[in-house]
Structure formats: structure tokens, C-alpha cells
Amino acid sequence: MFGEFNIPINIDKDSLNISIKKNDKGFDYIRELPNDKIEKLILTENAKILINPVEPLNTPKELTSLLLIEFNKSISIQPGIRKTIFITFPIEIGIFLSKKKDFELFDVFSLSKQKFTLYGDPGVGVVCKYWKSDVFLTLPDINPLYEGFIELKIYNPGTSWINVHKALFKAEGMKIFFDDQNVCMKAKMKVTDDDTAETEFIDSPYEKDMKKAVDIFNAKKLSVSTSKTIMLEGI
Amino acid sequence: MILNKVLFGNMTLSKLFFMLCLIIFWIIIAKVITLYLRKNFKKKLNKDHLEIIIKVVYYLIVVITIIWSLSLMGIKLSGLLVAGGFAGIVIGFASQSIIGNLVSGIFLMIERPMKIGNAVSIDGTTGIVEDIKIISTTIRTWDGFHIRIPNDKIFTTSITNYVSNVVRRFGYTVGIRYEDDADKAISIINQIIEDEPFALKNPAPLIFVDNLGDNSVNIAVKMWSPISEWYNLKNKMLWIIKKTLEENGIEIAFPQRVLWIGDQSIKEKILQN
């Protein structure tokens, strides 16, 4: 269901219904989820909408730019090796309205479970969006309306075994790609010692035919500082 | 020589010229110091407060320079000092509290136990910090009143800053009936907290039987929330817990007294009637 569409349009998929109907002056926009319904009026003669997966940090409220993914089982990594695993991440869906050659965010919502957590202790920690993921060694089977996958390359350059339980990512660096079947990102994690690591997204698709999603932080005209995230409060 | 021409007393034109040069030199030094202060404390201090501090430093240097140069020129300041000392005592007594507030204000700006916009409690006054001035601090209470508190009072009392950390904990005591299953109630409450996005996953919530009260089994419920959300969440969660427990057949206990009548036959007669 991701892509560019002409309006009016009606999309009914899983528990999501998006309806844009013509009225006298423009269009009525109705978006329905099981526990959420919003209605808006679009005053235009002619426009296009873009439906894209976006960074999972906008709903229910934009409190943080960090996403913490906790693994359902810990990963022990031998010193000096690189391994690739797959984990999932929650999807948020952005509805964009066309603006000349550009698109502007109009609505954002999520069908995934929403939860926040604290990374670190209450004195010095940071609030993060929380997601618990299985760890896969092959490409996971996902529903792209709910979740995407991250191909995560973990590197342990040290001299001792390291256990990793979670990964922290910064929204500014998220590079989401999608096709009809999948939503994905690529990232790498360099473990620097027992308790610290560095994560970073890679700006490349998992498969070359995948399209790049609109970067919502750029769409909101927010400045991007750095794409690297340093995990200092445990891994 | 024109430079040796006596103007008055021992004051010659050369001495006057030297005095003026000395004052100009120290004014330049004072300017350099104020530039240094402005550059280095621009981000650390509020702009208004920084300007006040800069002015105080600048005029202090100028006044000291003038007094110093007058004494170098042989102008006796003893009379001035006596008068000044007496005036200083009078002014000192009169402005004791103002100076106290001023000094406290400067220390508060350096220590920064609170910022504008923080929710705080100071000496029994709770509200949002509206402004921190050099002499006083203004608090807007939850009812919308503006309260001005002198800085020396703030400096010597305890300040509770509710928003200095990014998260905070709150809790309830939920009293259920003795015949209800406390394990089931704990499981239900746990699920409610798990389903609420703003109730943090970590630090984990605490739900346990806290005590066996006179009328109820009291379950303590404690959860953490982002600081911007805790108040709304606190107002919302208790009612959700109450409704969900009742939907699952668990009642919130109310005060009750069970009476046992000594003679059982009398009790049976009462029941039959």
C-alpha cells in the first residue's frame, strides 16, 4: 500500500481504513484505526498523496529521537568477528500531500504497539521509543504495515566475548527503504567494550529495487547533527 | 613650562594629565574585562542577569580607579572616607536585605537549582518558575497566582525541582476485597501498565501486595513516566485500573464491619424473621 496515489482514494487493509472523498470545496480525509479515528478537510482542486513508512518516533507523541530495540535473547559475539543478524522495528505510516515537486507530512499513525522506556538510570538516562524484537539469522517474515526489519552487522573488535541485549538508534540517521513486501533498514553496530557500543545506519537498500522512504526529519526541516549513536549505558 | 603650572593646591597640569591617563587606562581594562565576561558567560547566564553583573564589575573598577588616582594626586580622602563610612553604615543597614537578595540571586544563577519553566516547590509554594531575577524569583502557582519570592529566602530553603530528571515515578494504593484474588488483580494491573505507551518499560513498574488493611488487601502500584506525561498519566491510570478490575469481578473495597452475635440461636431467629 506504500507509494504515490491520486485522490480521491479508499484504502482498506487489515484494521486500517483511509478514505479521501471529494466534496464541494475539496476533499474529506478520514483515517480509522481500531481505537483512533481522525477526520480532516483538504482544500484543494487536485493533489496527490504519498504513503510511506516513516521513522517510528512520531506517535503517540514525539518525545524522543531515539529508538531502543531490545533483543528477546542475548547475542554473544566472539572477539574479532563480524556477523549479520536481522531484527525487527516498528513502522509508522506517514501520509504526505503533494506540494509542487515536494511532499509535506499531513498525517502519521501506527498500527504497532507503542511503548517508551528509559535508557540509563533516572538521573542521567534518556527517554527512548521501545521495541522488543526476535533475533533472526535469515530474512524474517513480516507484515510491512506493522513492522520492518533491520539488517544489523555487529562487529566485536575487542579481545573478549561480548553479550549484546539491545541496540539504540538515532532517528536522524534512519534510512528506510521499502517495496511491496518489505520495509527495511541497514545498520551496523561496533561494540567498543563490555558496556558500550556505537550504532549507525547505512544509506543503502537491502535489495536494489527498493524505494527510499521520505525522511520525516528532513520533511519537518529539522537539522541533522550526526547519524551515529553512542551507547554508554549498557548494551 | 605649562605642564608644571599649578591649577589648585599641589595639582599641576602634568598631574591632572597623568590622572586622566590612569583613569582612561583602567576604563579600557574594565571594558576588556566586560567583553571577556560577556563572551564567556553568554550561554551560562540569563542575558539580563549577565548585563547587571557586567555593569557592577565595570562601575566597581571605575570607582576604585577614581579613588585610587585621587589619592595618588595627593587629594586627601580621609574626610570623604569618614563621611562615606558613616553613609555606608546607614546605607548598609537600610539595604541589608537588598544586598542579601542580590548576593543570593548571583549564587542561584551560578548554582542553577532550577530553570525558567521548571515545576518546583519552594518553601510550600508549588508552581512553575516564571522568572529568576537578580533580587527575586516569580512562581506561577497551579491556580494561576504569581508569587514573588525574595532570593535570599530561596537560597536558604529547600527547593524541590519536579522536572530536573527526564522521568519520574508515581503510584497508587489499590484496596481490593479480601475474597478477591490478589494475584489476578496484580496480573490485570500489570497488563494495563504494559499496554500504556507512556508507562515506561524500564525502570520496570512495581505492583505488589503492600499490606493487609482493616478493610482491604492493599496493592501498591508504582510506575515511571516521562516527565512531560506523568501528570496526565497519573490522572488517567487510576480510573482505568478501577474499571478494568471491576470488569474482571474484582471490587474496590470500602470500609465495612462484620458483626458476630454471640448467641447463635438468636442470630438464626433474626435471620428467620
pLDDT score of B126: 92
**Of B166, B168, B228, which is closest to A125 when you measure between CB atoms?**
B166
- Residue B60 distance to chain A (closest CA, Å): 41
**Of the candidates A7, A8, A38, A209, the residue with the CA atom closest to the CA atom of residue A107:** A38
**Of the candidates B198, B201, B202, B203, the residue with the CA atom closest to the CA atom of residue B231:** B198
**Per-residue pLDDT for B87 more than 80?**
no
**Per-residue pLDDT for B17 more than 50?**
yes
How large is the ipTM?
Answer: 0.86
User: Residue A52's CB: how many other CB atoms inside 10 A?
Assistant: 25
Most confident of A90-94, B50-54, B130-134: A90-94
Q: What is the DSSP letter of A174?
A: -
Residues 6+ apart with CB under 8 A from B57: B30, B33, B34, B37
| pLDDT tens series, chain A, 235 aa | 888 888 888 888 888 899 999 888 888 999 998 888 999 998 887 788 889 999 998 889 989 989 999 999 999 999 999 999 999 999 999 998 886 777 888 899 999 999 999 999 988 899 999 999 999 999 999 998 999 999 999 999 988 999 999 999 987 778 899 988 899 999 999 998 888 999 998 888 888 888 888 877 655 544 445 667 888 778 7
Of B22-36, B170-184, B207-221, where does mean pLDDT reach its minimum? B22-36
Residue type, A119: Y
Q: Which residues sit opposite B207 in a β-bridge?
A: B221
In chain B, the domains with their CATH numbers are 2-94 (no CATH), 113-161 (2.30.30.60), 167-247 (3.30.70.100)
**Of A60, A61, A118, which is closest to B202 when you measure between CB atoms?**
A118
Report chain A residues whose CB lies below 8 A from the CB of B166. 118, 122, 125-127
Q: Do A117 and B200 touch (CB under 8 A)?
A: yes
**Is A61 in CB contact (< 8 Å) with chain B?**
yes
Longest CA pairwise span in chain A (Å): 70
**Per-residue pLDDT for B83 more than 70?**
no
Q: Which residues sit opposite A211 in a β-bridge?
A: A178
Residues 6+ apart with CB under 8 A from B203: A118, A122, B167, B169, B224
Report chain B residues whose CB lies below 8 A from the CB of A60. 197-198
B193 alpha carbon, distance to own chain's centre: 31
Of A224-233, B127-136, B249-258, where does mean pLDDT reach its minimum? A224-233
- Beta carbons of B139 and B120 less than 8 angstroms apart: yes
Q: Do B197 and A122 touch (CB under 8 A)?
A: no
Residue with cell 605642564: B3
Q: Which residues sit opposite A53 in a β-bridge?
A: A93
- Beta carbons of B180 and B169 less than 8 angstroms apart: no
Residues 6+ apart with CB under 8 A from A118: A125, A126, A127, A128, B166, B167, B200, B202, B203, B224
Q: Cis (ω within 30 of 0) for the bond into A60?
A: yes
pLDDT score of A221: 46
Helix pair B182-195, B230-247: axis angle to 10 deg: 140
Show the cell assigned to A228: 551515529
**Of the candidates B266, B200, B191, B261, the residue with the CA atom closest to the CA atom of residue B230:** B200
Backbone angles phi, psi at B201, to 5 degrees: -70, -45
**Per-residue pLDDT for B108 more than 90?**
no
Residue B270 to residue B53: CA distance in whole angstroms: 85
- Supply the mean pLDDT for chain B: 85
Residue B40 to residue B29: CA distance in whole angstroms: 17
Residue in chain A lying closest to B169 (CA): A122
DSSP string, A99-131: ETTEEEEEEEE-SS---EEEES-TTT-EEEEEE
**Of B165, B168, B201, which is closest to A117 when you measure between CB atoms?**
B201
Q: Do B229 and A114 touch (CB under 8 A)?
A: no
Q: Which residues sit opposite B146 in a β-bridge?
A: B140
Q: Do A63 and B167 touch (CB under 8 A)?
A: no
Residue with cell 570607582: B63
pLDDT score of A113: 92
CA distances from B225 to A91, A118, A125, A167, B186 (A): 23, 9, 13, 21, 19
pLDDT, tens digit (0-9, with 9 covering 90-100), for B160-207:
988 888 999 999 999 999 999 999 999 999 999 999 999 999 999 999
DSSP string, chain B: -GGG-EEETTEEHHHHHHHHHHHHHHHHHHHHHHHHHHHHHTTTS-HHHHHHHHHHHHHHHHHHHHHHHHHHTT---HHHHHHHHHHHHHHHHHTHHHHHHHHHHHHHHHH-S--TT-EEEETTEEEEEEEE-SSEEEEEETTS-EEEEEHHHHHHS-EEETTSSSEEEEEEEEEE-TTS-HHHHHHHHHHHHHH-TTS-SSSPPEEEEEEE-SSSEEEEEEEEEETTTHHHHHHHHHHHHHHHHHHTT-PBP--------S-HHHHHHHHH-
pLDDT score of B267: 67
